[in-house]
Structure 1
């Protein structure tokens, strides 16, 4: 999967000369936590709610006068924004974007096509993609299977699902489950779940866990 499939397009932006009180209002009204800063069509930075909260004095501090609060709110976005933010392209693999976010502790990455800002990919987008890959939003049976590390074993397992006419909604592979086995997790739909389970065991495949919408069991 690529970033372009999960990013948010039509991104709201602000310019570097806007007061941070105005930027905070834009974020609050649109329920977003960060906004790119664009001047004359060029990306110059990104500003987050945390940046603004650090710049603004607390309204609960009795030593801060209304005049001081008003003055702080007039600080320009450009003075507290993060300059030259890390970006990705629409064709960047989603896992590469997720690794960048995890490594640098970013909550989002801006998406650039050449010099044009075309989107933003956030932690929420990454999480939604993860749920989609696992088929979490769809009804079906979730099966964990232990197989050895031989490539032929993986393809033999898929043949069992094909023979039982099961639809695979999602599949993940945990290759380092153990020294002897990798763990394959599949979300499937079909009328022949009992036949599938019997066929998997008959093929010598080890079912680690089975969970259906009606019940959960371990064989």
Structure 2
């Protein structure tokens, strides 16, 4: 069975939800602690949401220096699929795996609501089970969810097709170009602010469409496993 690591930092809130999503998708979740000295042979990693280290200094700024993140960065550079959700997205940006930063919402309020997303890039390791242009609803819950980058970086993301998700039906936080999620040049590292792990079962979420992200990485890993 494919093993997918789920990191827990002090202040993580959604690590158990991410592990549940991995299990729903048919993989084995492997708990990774922020101070771990190895990745225990996992084939992919999820960096979950929450308030790592209390979001002191800046969201994700301290977690970026956790020992496990040094391992994740090195493994990602060798092609390991990595998914950052909410605080995880912030951490991936702080660690330099993704460009830009996540700043305080434009309205300066914590936003918690069901949010419609549009899939802009279905060619990544985490989105291959979706149709390009497909829309689905997942929760968004963040204070520092406004994606920002300099104009040349945003233009590069757009031109290279690296905007993975875009907010549809209203922008909850003022992100540039309605950007909700982006990817690395090779499509193996994806970060997004909304929470697909909270939309894997219609009994507990606004939809079950979020499970497609976790199923997608299993499909992406399948050729290597074969």
TM-score computed with the length of structure 2 as normaliser: 0.22
Please state which structure has a larger fraction of its residues in helix: 1
User: Rg: which structure is higher?
Assistant: 1
TM-score computed with the length of structure 1 as normaliser: 0.23
